Amino acid sequence: MVISAKDSNLLAGLVSALGESFVLTSPVGMSPYAIDHRKRYAGKPLAVVRPADVEQVAAVVRLCAENGTAVVPQGGNTGLVGGATPDASGSHVVLSLSRLNRIRALDGLNNTMTVEAGCVLATIQQAAEAADRLFPLSLASEGSCQIGGNLSSNAGGTAVLRYGNTRELTLGLEVVLPSGEIWNGLRGLRKDNTGYDLKQLFIGAEGTLGIITAAVLKLFPRPAGTATAIVALPTPRTALQLLGKLQSRCGERLTGFELFSETCLALVLKHYAACRRPLAATSPYFVLIELSDSQSMSAVTDMLEAALGDAMNDALITDAAIASSMAQSREFWTLRENISEAQAKEGPNIKHDVALPISAVADFVEQADAALGAAFSGVRMVNFGHLGDGNLHYNVSPPEGTDAKGFLENQAEINRLVYDAVACFNGSISAEHGLGQLKRDIINDYKAAVELDLMRSVKRALDPLGIMNPGKVI
């Protein structure tokens, strides 16, 4: 690749600011940063930079702003919509935050932790646990995703029902603005009525308005006991009825309520030999339930057992298994967490991450299943998600034995069928994965023009040069 004199000066400035070892320009060195997790989007960056602290991040952004060069922030690169992948122009600088991985402070009395954007989510969870606290954000990718990416996509995960999305778990941010200035909003306050809540602009913005470099996160008392069960039931509609009964019976102790289909379970059992079927018989749907409380495990287990006994008497569930140990609870959760990877092992598929009013989930599934079955006979619905907050991962795999790559040619039509059904119920075409490149254009058909104009106005105000993660979101 021929590098212009202007870009050559930029690269020299980056090396001066960071050191030669942390400015990657060889195709081999840059390759892991140039392709997304699903290998659907591949780019060609001008360079990959790996700053060590917020001052170095700011120095990189200032240099890029002076040069008019786009910056693509990247965390653990576990996203599913191409939101952290550069384009193929060879003109973008990928800014990896992986070296910003310090836990700066933990305040047990204030129940907060201040962490840098490159901290792996599991590391934050473990640090909280060591202080007898809980950081409740939990995702299947928690061993590799970084908190900066979680913040930038407003990640949800399996505990939203009780604790909320990443947005609700964040009290303050430190952000490098597109000008290279540093905004220090690292305040551990639960009340601060002094104007606009600026942090909310950057959470969920996918790096298009600035680069999150650190955050103050909420911590919670660590539960003394948890109880986990898997139940079998016939439809998402009965699952919603069960959800209502458990909320009435168990209140805030209901931490997780995860729906998945028999198709999902069969894929996990097929591709993960160590996993076992949790119940004797197959079932159209299953729900993974978790209660947590300050009481002991035996107390919450008794509560869950009584609630499920009532549900069995009311014919809402057909079978149930309650974990008898933490090890068995972990086995149950592994079944749920392996669904995405099992589907990937099965072959190419078309993913949808949608949100609906909880009351509309069953109607949506019936409508979308019927539309897809009529248009594409034999398709396999790999339907799972966080039913307690209305977030479904409504994925479509090709009929068994057919050309999977050829099936992907139907993606635009399948997306349209699914998203039109979502729109019928006033839902969202992106619940927790973001828009990235994948949904950047189609969102124009599902958001009001005034809403899109407001988003563009915010983008122009904060990033007048348009250098922050271009080609994503809007």
The CATH number linked to 192 is 3.30.465.10
Is residue 185 domain-shared with residue 246, that is, in the same domain?
A: no
Same domain flag for 157 and 243? no
User: Do residues 115 and 217 both lie within one domain?
Assistant: yes
Looking at 175, 190, 221, the residue that finishes a domain is 221
- The answer to whether residue 1 scores a pLDDT higher than 80 is no
pLDDT digits (tens, 9 = 90+) for 259-286: 999 999 999 999 999 999 999 999 999 9
User: Based on the domain organization, do 213 and 266 belong to the same domain?
Assistant: no
Look over the chain and give the mean of its residue pLDDT values, rounded to a whole number: 96
Q: What is the pLDDT of residues 290-341, one digit of tens each?
A: 999 998 999 999 999 999 999 999 999 999 999 999 999 999 999 999 999 9
Q: Is residue 48 part of a domain?
A: yes
Work out the average pLDDT over 96-110. Answer: 98
Please check whether residues 319 and 404 belong to one and the same domain.
no
pLDDT at position 345: 93
Q: What is the CATH number of the domain that holds 317?
A: 3.30.70.2190
> Are both 26 and 127 inside the same structural domain?
no
Q: Is residue 36 part of a domain?
A: yes
CATH number at residue 63: 3.30.43.10
Please check whether residues 301 and 216 belong to one and the same domain.
Answer: no
Q: What is the pTM of this model?
A: 0.94
What whole-number percentage of the chain has pLDDT above 70?
Answer: 100
**pLDDT score for 403:** 86
Is the model's pLDDT at 2 over the cut of 80?
no
315 and 281 in a common domain: yes
Report the CATH number at residue 354. Answer: 3.30.70.2740
pLDDT in tens, 214-263: 999 999 999 999 999 999 999 999 999 999 999 999 999 999 999 999 99
Residues 258 and 353 reside in one and the same domain: no
Is residue 314 domain-shared with residue 418, that is, in the same domain?
no
Query: Looking at residues 200-224, what average pLDDT do you find?
Result: 97
What are 152-181's pLDDT values in tens digits? 999 999 999 999 999 999 999 999 999 999
- Please tell me the total count of domains within the chain: 4
HEC sequence for the chain: CCCCHHHHHHHHHHHHHHCHHHEECCHHHHHHHCECCCCCCECCCCEEECCCCHHHHHHHHHHHHHHCCCEEEECCCCCCCCCCCCCCCCCCEEEECCCCCCEEEEECCCCEEEEECCCEHHHHHHHHHHCCEECCCCCCCCCCCEHHHHHHCCCCCCCHHHHCCHHHHEEEEEEECCCCCEEEECCCCCCCCCCCCCHHHHCCCCCCCCEEEEEEEECEECCCEEEEEEEEECCHHHHHHHHHHHHHHHHHHEEEEEEEEHHHHHHHHHHCCCCCCCCCCCCCEEEEEEEEECCCHHHHHHHHHHHHHHHHHCCCCCEEEECCCHHHHHHHHHHHHCHHHHHHHHCCCECCEEECCHHHHHHHHHHHHHHHHHHCCCCEEEEEEEHHHCEEEEEEECCCCCCHHHHHHHHHHHHHHHHHHHHHCCCECECCCCCCCCCCCHHHHCCCHHHHHHHHHHHHHHCCCCCECCCCCC
Residues spanned by the domain of 145:
103-221
In this prediction, residue 86 carries a pLDDT of 97
